[in-house]
Amino acid sequence: MKNLLQLTFLLLSIGLMTSCAVKQEQEADDTIDFITQQYGLMIEQLEASPTILNPKSIIDEKMKYIPPKEWTSGFFPGSLWYIYELTGDEAWIPYAVKYTEALDTIQYYTGNHDVGFMIYCSYGNGFRLTGKPYEEVIVNAAKSLSTRYIPEAGIIQSWNANPSKDWECPVIIDNMMNLELLFNATKLSGDSSFYHIAVTHADNTIKNHYRPDYGTWHVLDYNKADGTIRHRNTHQGYSDESTWARGHSWGVYGFVMCYRETGNQKYLEQAEKALDFIANHPNYPEDGVPYWDYDSPDIPNTYRDASAGAILASALYELSTYSTKRDYKAWADTIMQTLSGPRYLAPLGENGHFILMHSVGSLPHNSEVDVPLNYADYYFLEALKRKRDLES
């Protein structure tokens, strides 16, 4: 009798787990089906224009289109590549190619550090998925990014000097994301200088950009001559001593990527400690999507940032393959379940045909507040892809 009861319990448990897995798979399929319909409507709208348009957001109920040199220009074509990867539908490839190759001139752009976002999210994904001859563009972009490297300080300058802020050489935590372009340029070209710049910048970010509790400043202003720190600021966050949520997600993601590319344990540990800061923060919501700044004084009566959540989820999925310090996949699943729910997933045909609602660009500057943003969609799609790969 005891053995029969144990067998019955086992069979019921297996049935329950199978049922849950089937339900989750169906929910994922439904989300992808919605995405293809929503972005299909976006493509219809864009293709009706005689010129190539690149959508970023909806501002005051009007679509905000951006030029190639705007820092987010790589995310829309990157999203098209991820939709192709998620669906396997080759009908997406011509659109992904068209909007990717509209950024051709950016390979020579040296005006800021975001060439990594602009080229690697677009051309990088295109090369990864199709093997199209984009190697030269990627390497040229890495050369352009490398012109902003300051050897005396050991960092890549993010923004240009700003006398009104008394910034000589501002470096932002976001810059960790652009190192992926450099790592891959070394793989494609054999030129190790790109790799050296990337790891030197990452090492100095560990040294200087994090507080003792592993919260982050947004902007460090370096002395170009000797690498000393002139100012520590949080430009897009609540205050200089607060931790801006999207910036903190950029940092986590960047150090997970650095560990992947180098195998150096210190990058893994930095990502884990930065995540401990989030997990232990009293203002971090149970549903996983952060408020726009972890130290905003009006929490919970303030804005969430879907983009910070999507970036974080994508990083957590990758980290779950390297570390067992926490159940990082379950954490990512919580975020994705929230983002896939009615609070953040847009109704079909609305939200400017973007996927996610409720992101925040820069609240202190009243810029892109509580709107869809193309990079929120991009990292949401990347997280969906990573989740599917882990579960397949």
C-beta separation of 182 from 124 below 8 A: no
Active site residues: 114, 174
pLDDT in tens, 215-252: 999 999 999 999 999 999 999 999 999 999 999 999 99
Q: How many CB atoms lie within 10 A of CB 51?
A: 7
Q: Give 75-123 pLDDT, tens digit per residue.
A: 999 999 999 999 999 999 999 999 999 999 999 999 999 999 999 999 9
Q: Cβ(144)–Cβ(107) under 8 Å? A: yes
The predicted pLDDT at position 359 comes to 98
Report the alpha-carbon distance of residue 315 to residue 90 in Å, rounded: 27
Better pLDDT: 336 or 4: 336
Q: Is the peptide bond before 151 cis (omega within 30 degrees of 0)?
A: no
Residue 256 is inside which H or E element, if any?
helix 245-262
DSSP 273: H
DSSP state of 73: T
Spatial CB neighbours of 201, under 8 Å, sequence gap ≥ 6: 149, 154, 155, 156, 175, 176, 179
Q: Quote the Cα angle for 166-172-175, to 5°.
A: 145
Span 310-332, pLDDT tens digits: 999 999 999 999 999 999 999 99
Residue with tokens 């790589």, as numbered in its chain = 74
pLDDT, tens digit, 9 for 90 and up, residues 135-188? 999 999 999 999 999 999 999 999 999 999 999 999 999 999 999 999 999 999
CA 292 to the chain's CA centroid: 15
Q: What is the pLDDT of residue 12?
A: 64
Over the stretch 73-88, which tens digit does the pLDDT of each residue have?
A: 999 999 999 999 999 9
What are 71's two structure tokens? 């820092």
Identify the residue with better confidence: 6 or 270.
Answer: 270
Mean pLDDT within 42-47: 98
Is residue 369 a contact partner of residue 303, using CB atoms and an 8 Å limit?
yes
Q: Is the peptide bond before 212 cis (omega within 30 degrees of 0)?
A: no
pLDDT score recorded for residue 29:
85
Under a CB-based contact definition with an 8 Å cutoff, are residues 214 and 276 in contact? yes
| C-alpha dihedral sign at 154, 155, 161, 165 | negative
In the numeric block, which tokens belong to residue 2?
Answer: 């005891």
Q: If you search the block for the tokens 């793989």, which residue do you land on?
A: 187
Q: Which of helix, strand or coil describes residue 162? A: strand
Residue 15 has pLDDT above 70, yes or no: no
Q: What is the pLDDT of residues 277-323, one digit of tens each?
A: 999 999 999 999 999 999 999 999 999 999 999 999 999 999 999 99
Judge whether 116 and 179 are in contact, CB under 8 Å.
Answer: yes
- Go through the chain and tell me how many residues it has: 392
Domain spanning 29-391, CATH architecture: Alpha/alpha barrel (1.50)
The model's confidence at residue 17, banded by pLDDT at 50, 70 and 90, is low
What one-character DSSP code corresponds to residue 216? B
Token pair for 228: 């000393």
For the chain, the domains span 29-391
Residue 20 has pLDDT above 60, yes or no: no
